[in-house]
């Protein structure tokens, strides 16, 4: 079970979900300026467990953070609406197949409080998942 396969499956769900947002991906420089609104994706936490006898990874738990970014001064409602659209893509108990395994969304998505960052307003959306090898 590869972490890249897990990340790719989660990012694909977000990219094809029809949220109306373009996105930036971890460690990928955008091609030119990014127009608002958009999202930034991060994978801040993962924990892996292996099979005692074979040392193969059999389970990973972690989170994907999707930070919704809108222009400051447009109001927090717009950012919250985009955050809800992201949340709707990852309902609790959703199962997403990936190469050699399956991801399960473990709990309701956590939409955190927004905050100003320079000229932008940002709203973090935290998606908790577990992935099991097949």
Question: Which class for 77: exposed (0-12), middle (13-18), buried (19 or more C-beta within 10 A)?
Answer: exposed
- Supply the range of the domain harboring residue 12: 3-25+35-133
CATH value at residue 90: 3.30.2000.20
More confident residue, 131 or 73: 131
Report whether 17 contacts 94 (CB < 8 A). Answer: no
Total domain count, the chain? 1
Tens digits of residue pLDDT in 12-69: 999 999 999 999 999 898 887 888 999 999 999 888 887 766 667 789 999 999 999 9
Tell me whether residue 52 is in a domain: yes
Tell me whether residue 105 is in a domain: yes
E strands, the chain, are: 22-24, 38-50, 57-71, 95-98, 101-105, 110-111, 115-117, 120-133
Tell me whether residue 74 is in a domain: yes
More confident residue, 2 or 90: 90
Tell me whether residue 30 is in a domain: no
Report whether 119 contacts 58 (CB < 8 A). Answer: no
Tell me whether residue 44 is in a domain: yes
């Amino acid at each position: 079970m590869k972490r890249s396969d897990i990340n790719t499956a989660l990012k694909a769900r977000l990219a094809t979900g029809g949220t109306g947002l373009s996105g930036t991906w971890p460690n990928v420089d955008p091609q030119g300026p990014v127009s608002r609104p958009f999202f930034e994706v991060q994978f801040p936490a993962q924990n892996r467990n292996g099979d005692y006898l074979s040392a193969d990874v059999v389970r990973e738990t972690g989170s994907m953070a999707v930070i919704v970014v809108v222009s400051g001064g447009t109001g927090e409602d717009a950012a919250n609406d985009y955050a809800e659209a992201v949340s709707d893509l990852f309902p609790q108990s959703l199962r997403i197949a990936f190469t050699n395994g399956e991801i399960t969304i473990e709990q309701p998505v956590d939409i955190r409080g927004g905050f100003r960052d320079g000229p932008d307003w940002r709203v973090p959306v935290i998606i908790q998942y577990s992935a099991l090898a097949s």
